[in-house]
Amino acid sequence: MDSVGTLEPFATPTVRLDKLFDVPDIQVFAKLDSLQLSGSTKERTAASLLDAFISSGRLAPGGTVIESTSGNLGISLSRQCIVRGIRFIAVVDENANGSALQIMRAYGAEVDLVLNPADGNKLAARRQRVQDLLAQHPGAVTTNQYGSPDNPAAHYSSTMPEIMKALDGNLDFLFVATSTTGTLLGCQNYVREHRLSTQLVAVDALGSVLFDGESALRRLPGLGAGVVPELSLQAKPDHVLRIKEIDMVRGCRRLAYREGILAGASTGAIVAAMDQMLPEIPAGSRIAFLVHDSGVPYLHTVYDNDWVKENLGEVPENSGAQ
């Protein structure tokens, strides 16, 4: 029975991509976390957050979890709460993918939609709503993905060791998209504690306030923040790149056309960031990135020319059928 797995997060494959960029001297690897059962890297985060609560006795079957989420953590928590017999209330905003909300509901979650606040700060409005709901549901807990050390711990103990194992400990640059910065921070803690020479590249959205960024309108979910998350104060990446949404679209489509990987907006941002940084990356380097989620929930945004034209003002070249 050794090959029978569990329904918990599993080690995802790391694959070599040789068509994404025309750089024969640089090896590019992708870790396919989009293959997790709930479709994203947040599968790991959700399991770690819940298990920490359960093992400390603050949460048990029949209990309630309330969390603010732009989509993926909500999907992962929905799935893992239902299998653990826990009620889950997801606080979401209007940036959330409609299909993400349907998936959460399919896993039995209750979805609480916060309408666009007058000051435009959706994240702050969601966090306030979580506090209001906690007051209304005595005994309920919030997993606090923005500040909990159990968020980066998931990536310290699984994501990064898996990458290093797949690459025989030999990696020069790792590109990670950032929102709570939990994924980045877990990888950073691993790199620093093991004294690796791997440089960490944080890929953020233009308009996100992470890393002293300036707040502006963002339409695509998955990366970026409107309020500085507590965890991000510890994040010290070697490089930070801020990507425009139209370049996220270009990155997603490039990954789909060249490598046959359908990924979400934050992974498209990483492809755009790698493209920008390649001229500075020495020949012979090995670079890796996370495919944070699948492109399926983005079929009506990133992969829809009408949506892209209407919301981002242009349609990238080479974006029709091949």
Ligand X SMILES: Cc1ncc(COP(=O)(O)O)c(C=O)c1O
Binding site for ligand X (CB under 6 A): 40-42, 45, 72, 177-184, 222-223, 264, 266, 292-293
Closer to ligand X at the Cβ: 210 or 312? 210
Burial of 66 per CB tally in 10 Å (0-12, 13-18, 19+): buried
Quickly tell me which residue has 């679209």 as its tokens. Answer: 249
Q: Which residues of 164-194 are buried (b: 16+ CB within 10 A; e: fewer)?
A: bebbeeebbbbbbbbbbbbbbbbbbbbbeee
How far is 311 from 7, CA to CA, in rounded Å?
38
Angle, CA 92 vertex, CA 89 and CA 94 arms, to 5°: 150
Structure tokens at 245: 């949404």
Q: By the 8 A CB rule, do 162 and 141 touch?
A: no
Our CB check for ligand X shows the closer of 42 and 250 to be 42
The three-state secondary structure class of 245 is helix
At its nearest, how many Å lie between ligand X and the CB of residue 150? 12
Closest distance of CB 115 from ligand X, Å: 23
Nearer to ligand X, 63 or 160 (CB): 160
What's the N-to-C CA distance of the chain in angstroms?
44
Task: Find the shortest distance in angstroms from Cβ 278 to ligand X.
Answer: 21
Calpha distance 70→184 (Å, rounded): 18
Of residues 63 and 265, the one with the C-beta less far from ligand X: 265
**Closest to ligand X by CB, 63 or 264:** 264
- Complex with ligand X: residue 103 or 223, whichever CB lies closer: 223
- Tell me the closest approach of the beta carbon of residue 135 to ligand X, in angstroms: 25
| Min CB(140)–ligand X separation in Å | 22
DSSP helix/strand/coil, 93: strand
The structure tokens 């300036």 sit at: 214
Taking the complex as a whole, the smallest distance from the CB of residue 67 to ligand X amounts, in Å, to 12
Least CB distance to ligand X at residue 96 (A): 12
Please say which residue, 45 or 143, places its beta carbon nearer to ligand X: 45
